Amino acid sequence: MSIHSKVKRMTAPEIYARKGQVPLVCLTAYTAPVAEILDEHCDVLLVGDSVGMVVHGLPSTIGVTMDMMILHAQAVMRGSDKAFVVVDMPFGSYEAGPEEAFHNAARLLKETGAQAVKIESGPTVHETVAYMVQRGIPVMGHVGLRPQAVNVDGGFKAKGRTESERKKVIQEALDTDAAGAFAIVVEGVAEDLAREITVLVKAPTIGIGASAGCDGQVLVTDDMLGLFDWSPKFVRRYADMRGAISKAAEDYAKDVRDRSFPAPQETYFAK
């Protein structure tokens, strides 16, 4: 991406205005080369804290740090021109209260150039969302299955299956919406609940494991590309990159061992 690029990025108001319109397309990105490839096709690039599991091999997102998010967000901003870039606030960076959340969110945006942050909308987070929005930070919410709550939930479990849990998810979505979030990720809930939330909130909903009834969709790019042996039920694999990379490595290893690589065309000779 050139600093002199004349391409105009998507904005938070433009994302908000897509409610009920053409579905929003969102994928995760953690590196400049991947961001460059995805930029042409996506409305939103999410620098997700899923980077901890996908890139760094962590067992959950809990170990992700601010420095990790900043490093990857900087790379994604360098690689993209058009898409709206949102950065996840990692676990522990916003839960203590609005002022600390604002400080950390401001740091994320200042040091990366990204346009918005995303936080998981627990029962007290709407106050933090309102505080940040009122001070100029666009916030994307996240309700339903919340990966940062994995230790409380005892694993990655779908939400809204009981009536009390359903009411809780709806209330968190309504509170997040009222607080001024420009979009809300809805993860791991039944179709009827996702559709109900989508109708109830003014902000566009972006589903992940939440049916086609949302105002947009997001997937972890590495899941969608088939880079792992296992992926969640809600993922559609659009490629088998794991197989392609393995085959390329196998072919390379064979050529090295039988000395057919490097060949003359890949070798420098004295003049």
d(CA 45, CA 41): 10
Q: Is 187 a catalytic residue?
A: yes
d(CA 223, CA 240): 10
Q: Which one from 172, 187, 250, 266 is the annotated catalytic residue?
A: 187
260 annotated among ligand-binding-site residues: no
**Angle at the Cα of 143 (from 139 to 173), degrees rounded to 5?**
75
233 annotated among ligand-binding-site residues: no
Q: Where are the alpha helices (DSSP H) in 85-189?
A: 98-112, 125-134, 150-153, 163-178
Question: What contacts 62, CB < 8 A, 6 or more positions away?
Answer: 52, 91, 148, 150, 151
CB 170 within 8 A of CB 144: no
d(CA 115, CA 224): 24
88 annotated among ligand-binding-site residues: yes
254 annotated among ligand-binding-site residues: no
140 DSSP β-pair partners: 118, 183
Q: Tokens representing 52?
A: 């901890």
d(CA 17, CA 11): 10
120 annotated among ligand-binding-site residues: yes
- Binding residues for Mg(2+) are 49, 88, 120
- Binding residues for 3-methyl-2-oxobutanoate are 49-50, 88, 118
- Residues marked active site are found at 187
